[in-house]
Amino acid sequence: MSQWRKRYFQLKGNKLYFSKKEGVDPHGTIDLEKCVTVKSAEEVTDKRYSFEVATPESRFYMYASTEKEKDEWIGAIGRAIVRFSNVYDEGDDDMDDYDN
């Protein structure tokens, strides 16, 4: 984490897409079906508003512009993880996509 690079994220279903510029096709994806956790990471990164998305293979560190935005991302990603896990009740279909 010696260098932070700006990326634009869009959450659709159980995929977190990212691109180098806003409004362009994504160049990468994080499959949230494989995600094991999403949590605050300020103590690990020493950066305000940072959070971690972890899969068994990788850890992705991101940061938001505000505490509110960080909490919204953690909440939206957490709901996507639960929604697409085996414990999700298929009758609960009111989750919206989130992008920023």
To which H or E segment does residue 77 belong?
helix 67-83
Residue 90 has pLDDT above 60, yes or no: no
Q: Nearest-CA neighbor of 83 among 11, 19, 18, 7?
A: 11
Given a contact cutoff of 8 angstroms between Cβ atoms, the answer to whether 7 and 100 are in contact is: no
Please tell me the distance from the alpha carbon of residue 42 to that of residue 82, in angstroms, as a whole number: 23
pLDDT digits over 14-67, tens only? 999 999 999 999 999 999 998 999 999 999 999 999 999 999 999 999 999 999
Local confidence band at 4 (pLDDT 50, 70, 90 cut-offs): very high
Name the token pair of 33.
């079906």
Residue 87 has pLDDT above 70, yes or no: no
**91 vs 72: which has the higher pLDDT:** 72
For the chain, list the domains and their CATH numbers: 8-87 (2.30.29.30)
pTM, two decimals, is 0.80
The sign of the CA dihedral 87, 77, 28, 100 is positive
